[in-house]
C-alpha cells in the first residue's frame, strides 16, 4: 500500500452538532485530551480567569458562550488522523452548519439527556439528515437527572425520521447514575466521577453473568431494572447494520458524561471503527476518487479577521483527493487562474501552523486576497472540473442598514461585503433605483446582532438596522427571458438585486408568490440560490 493511500485511509473527518449547552465544546475538548493535543481541558464559560474553550475564538462567542462560526481542529488518536469541524449550536446559524456538513464525511450529534431533542435544534439536526451522511449520537450529561432512555430514543426517531440503535445503555442518571451496559461485550462499565480535566482512568467492567459482583456495585434495584430494560431493548430496538448507518438511515447511540469524562473514549473508539475513510465526491465530470485522483479541494467557508492584528481573510478548503504540497501550483476553476496557495495552514482554533503537506480528508486554511467564493473548486493546472455547488439558504428576515457616521462609507462597504462573502449574511440593493441603500437578509435574527457587533468591532463602523416586513425571497431562474421592468407584481413585492447583480423578488405574504407567477406567464421562481 502506497504512503498516499495509507495517509488518506487513516483520515476521519466529521462535524459535531448540538443545541447550545448540550456539552459539545466539552466533548470536543475531551477528544483533544485523548489525542494528547491538549493536556488539561479548560472551562468554556465560568470565571473570567478560566481558559476559554479551544474551539471558540470570536469575541462575541466568548461573551455569549455560543459558537457563531465553525472552527476546525485536527488531532491524532490511535493511528488515526482526525479532523473535527465544530459547528454553531444555534438554529440561526443552520446555513453555516450545512456548509460545514458539506465538508464532513459524518456527523456527531450531541444531545442533552435531560432535555432531549430541543425545539430550536430540530432545524440543525434536520440539516444533518438532509445531507444523508452517517450520524452518530452521543447522549450527554448522564451525571445529571435525565429523561427516560426509551423516550429519548423515541424522540430522536420521531423528530428526525432516523432509526436508532443503542450501542450501550445507561444505568440510572443524576445521583443514581451507576454506569453503562455495553451491548456488544454484554458487560457493565462502572461509572466513576474521575478528575474532570484529566484522561479517563481504567474503567471497571463487570460481565452481566457475574450477578453477585454486579449487585454489590450497583445495588439490587438498579440491577433488576437493567435486566428488564435489556430484555425490552433486545426485543424492540433496531438491529445494528453498518450499511444503514453509512446511508444516514440509522444512528448508533451512546451515553455518557463529557464533563466527568465517562463514556467519551468508549464512544470515540466505536465511532472510529464505524466511520469511513474519505469518500469519492461528485463533480461535473463524475465521481472523484480520493486516492486515484490528483489534488483537488473545494472552499466551504471564508472567515475574515481571525487575527485582528493582520486583518486577514482565510478560505477553508476540504481536500477531496490526492496530496497537497505547499509549493505546488493549482488551478482556481471558477476564476480560471493558476496560482500558488498562500500561507497554507492548519488551524487549531486561533492557533495556526503553516503546512508543508496535507491529504484528502484534511481541512486547510489559505490566505484569501478576495478571490474565493464559497463552493469554489481547486484542482491541478492541467485538469478542469467543478464540485457540486453549495446551496444558499433563503433568508427569512430582512432589514435596511443605515450607517450612523456617513463619513465612514468606505469602511462600511468593505466590512459588509467581506462579512457577506463569508456567507453569514446576504446583501441586496434596490433594483434600478440608483439608491445606494443596502438591505441585509439573514436566516436567523441572531445574525443581525453578530453583523452589528462585527462591523463595530472589526471595522469601527456603527450601524442601525430597520426591520423590513418581507419574509419570502425568490430568485428568478430564467432572468434572461424576463423583462424585469415589465414584471407585474403585487403591492407587497419588492425588486432587489444580489451582490452578483442577479434580480430577486421579496414578498411579505406567501400567497403573493403564486399571484406574481399567475400574472407573469413563463416566469420561473426558485427558493434556492447557488453559489
Q: Are residues 407 and 375 in the same domain?
A: no
**pLDDT at 351 (0 to 100):** 62
Domain with residue 49: its CATH number is: 3.40.50.300
**pLDDT at 127 (0 to 100):** 75
* Final residue of a structural domain among 379, 402, 423: 379
* Final residue of a structural domain among 274, 300, 323: 274
For residue 529, what are the contacts with CB-CB under 8 A and spacing of at least 6? 391, 392, 394, 475, 498, 502
Q: By CB neighbour count within 10 A (0-12 exposed, 13-18 middle, 19+ buried), where does 289 fall?
A: middle
Residue 476 bridge partners (DSSP): 525
Query: Per-10-residue mean pLDDT for the chain, 531 residues long?
Result: 91 88 82 68 36 48 46 84 78 70 91 87 75 92 94 92 94 93 93 60 81 90 93 85 93 94 92 92 94 95 66 85 94 93 71 84 88 92 89 83 88 85 82 75 83 86 92 86 84 87 90 92 77 45
280 is in an annotated binding site: no
- Residue 245 inside a domain? The answer is yes
Q: Is the pTM of this model over 0.75?
A: yes
Q: Are residues 230 and 309 in the same domain?
A: no
- The percent of residues in the chain predicted with pLDDT above 70, rounded, is 85
Measure the CA–CA gap between 139 and 167, rounded to whole angstroms: 12
* Final residue of a structural domain among 359, 379, 399: 379
143 is in an annotated binding site: yes
Measure the CA–CA gap between 91 and 40, rounded to whole angstroms: 30
- Residue 4 inside a domain? The answer is no
**pLDDT at 395 (0 to 100):** 85
- Residue 395 inside a domain? The answer is yes
Measure the CA–CA gap between 273 and 69, rounded to whole angstroms: 29
20 is in an annotated binding site: yes
102 is in an annotated binding site: no
**pLDDT at 198 (0 to 100):** 56
Q: Are residues 222 and 118 in the same domain?
A: yes
87 is in an annotated binding site: yes
How many helical (H) and strand (E) elements, i.e. helices and strands, does the chain have? 13, 33
Measure the CA–CA gap between 74 and 83, rounded to whole angstroms: 4
88 is in an annotated binding site: yes
Measure the CA–CA gap between 224 and 157, rounded to whole angstroms: 27
Q: Are residues 355 and 405 in the same domain?
A: no
67 is in an annotated binding site: no
Overall domain count for the chain: 3
Q: Return phi, psi of residue 339, to 5°.
A: -155, 165
- Residue 81 inside a domain? The answer is no
Contact, 73 vs 84, CB < 8 A? yes
516 is in an annotated binding site: no
Q: Are residues 341 and 363 in the same domain?
A: yes
- Residue 6 inside a domain? The answer is no
123 is in an annotated binding site: no
Domain with residue 462: its CATH number is: 3.30.70.3280
449 is in an annotated binding site: no
**pLDDT at 308 (0 to 100):** 58
Q: Are residues 321 and 182 in the same domain?
A: no
Domain with residue 310: its CATH number is: 2.40.30.10
Q: Are residues 268 and 150 in the same domain?
A: yes
Q: Are residues 111 and 171 in the same domain?
A: yes
Contact, 465 vs 401, CB < 8 A? yes
Contact, 340 vs 330, CB < 8 A? yes
**pLDDT at 531 (0 to 100):** 45
86 is in an annotated binding site: yes
**pLDDT at 221 (0 to 100):** 92
Binning the chain into helix, strand and coil, the percentages to the nearest 5 are: 30, 30, 40
**pLDDT at 307 (0 to 100):** 57
Q: Are residues 431 and 395 in the same domain?
A: yes
- Residue 78 inside a domain? The answer is no
Domain housing 67: 14-71+86-274
Q: Are residues 316 and 429 in the same domain?
A: no
350 is in an annotated binding site: no
Q: Cell numbers of 437, please? A: 441603500
89 is in an annotated binding site: yes
Q: Are residues 366 and 400 in the same domain?
A: no
- Residue 269 inside a domain? The answer is yes
Dihedral class, residue 142 (left if φ above 0, else alpha if ψ from -120 to 50, else beta): alpha
- Residue 384 inside a domain? The answer is no
**pLDDT at 528 (0 to 100):** 63
Q: Are residues 154 and 21 in the same domain?
A: yes
Amino acid at each position: 500500500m502506497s504512503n498516499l493511500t495509507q495517509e488518506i485511509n487513516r483520515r476521519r473527518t466529521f462535524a459535531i452538532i448540538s443545541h447550545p449547552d448540550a456539552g459539545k465544546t466539552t466533548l470536543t475538548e475531551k477528544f483533544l485530551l485523548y489525542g494528547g493535543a491538549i493536556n488539561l481541558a479548560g472551562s468554556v464559560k465560568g470565571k473570567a480567569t478560566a481558559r476559554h474553550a479551544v474551539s471558540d475564538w470570536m469575541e462575541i462567542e466568548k461573551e455569549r458562550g455560543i459558537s457563531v462560526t465553525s472552527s476546525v481542529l485536527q488531532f491524532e488518536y490511535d493511528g488515526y488522523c482526525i479532523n473535527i469541524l465544530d459547528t454553531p449550536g444555534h438554529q440561526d446559524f443552520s446555513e453555516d452548519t450545512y456548509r460545514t456538513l458539506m465538508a464532513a464525511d459524518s456527523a456527531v450529534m450531541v444531545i442533552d439527556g435531560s432535555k432531549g431533542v430541543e425545539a430550536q435544534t430540530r432545524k440543525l439536526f434536520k440539516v444533518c439528515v438532509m445531507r444523508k451522511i452517517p450520524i452518530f449520537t452521543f447522549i450527554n450529561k448522564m451525571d445529571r437527572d435525565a429523561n427516560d432512555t426509551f423516550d429519548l430514543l423515541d424522540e430522536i426517531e420521531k423528530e428526525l425520521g432516523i432509526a436508532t440503535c443503542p450501542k450501550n445503555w445507561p444505568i440510572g442518571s443524576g445521583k443514581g447514575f451507576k454506569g453503562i451496559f455495553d451491548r456488544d461485550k454484554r458487560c457493565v462499565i462502572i461509572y466513576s466521577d474521575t478528575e474532570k480535566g484529566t484522561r479517563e482512568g481504567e474503567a471497571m467492567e463487570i460481565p452481566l453473568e457475574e450477578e453477585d459482583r454486579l449487585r454489590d456495585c450497583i445495588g439490587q434495584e438498579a440491577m433488576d431494572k437493567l435486566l428488564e430494560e435489556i430484555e425490552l431493548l433486545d426485543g424492540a430496538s433496531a438491529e445494528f447494520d453498518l450499511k444503514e448507518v453509512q446511508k444516514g438511515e440509522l444512528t448508533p447511540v451512546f451515553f455518557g458524561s463529557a464533563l466527568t469524562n465517562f463514556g467519551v473514549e468508549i464512544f470515540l473508539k466505536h465511532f472510529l471503527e464505524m466511520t469511513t475513510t474519505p469518500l469519492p465526491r461528485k463533480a461535473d465530470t463524475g465521481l472523484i476518487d480520493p486516492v486515484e485522483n490528483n489534488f483537488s479541494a473545494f472552499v466551504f467557508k471564508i472567515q475574515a479577521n481571525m487575527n485582528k492584528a493582520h486583518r486577514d481573510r482565510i478560505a477553508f478548503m476540504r481536500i477531496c483527493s490526492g496530496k497537497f504540497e505547499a509549493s505546488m501550483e493549482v488551478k482556481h476553476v471558477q476564476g480560471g487562474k493558476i496560482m500558488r496557495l498562500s500561507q497554507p495552514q492548519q488551524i487549531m482554533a486561533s492557533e495556526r501552523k503553516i503546512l508543508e503537506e496535507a491529504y484528502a480528508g484534511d481541512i486547510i486554511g489559505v490566505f484569501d486576497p478576495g478571490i474565493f467564493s464559497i463552493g469554489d473548486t481547486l484542482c491541478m493546472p492541467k485538469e478542469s472540473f467543478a464540485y457540486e455547488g453549495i446551496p444558499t439558504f433563503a433568508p427569512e428576515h430582512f432589514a435596511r442598514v443605515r450607517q450612523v457616521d456617513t463619513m465612514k462609507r468606505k469602511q462600511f462597504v468593505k466590512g459588509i461585503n467581506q462579512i457577506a462573502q463569508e456567507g453569514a449574511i446576504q446583501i441586496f440593493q434596490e433594483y434600478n433605483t440608483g439608491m445606494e441603500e443596502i438591505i441585509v437578509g439573514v436566516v436567523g435574527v441572531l445574525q443581525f446582532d453578530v453583523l452589528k457587533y462585527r462591523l463595530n468591532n472589526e471595522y469601527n463602523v456603527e450601524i442601525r438596522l430597520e426591520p423590513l416586513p418581507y419574509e419570502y425571497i425568490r430568485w428568478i431562474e430564467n432572468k434572461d427571458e424576463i423583462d424585469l421592468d415589465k414584471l407585474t407584481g403585487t403591492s407587497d413585492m419588492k425588486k432587489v438585486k444580489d451582490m452578483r447583480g442577479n434580480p430577486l423578488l421579496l414578498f411579505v405574504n406567501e400567497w403573493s408568490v403564486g399571484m406574481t407567477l399567475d400574472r407573469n406567464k413563463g416566469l420561473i421562481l426558485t427558493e434556492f440560490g447557488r453559489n
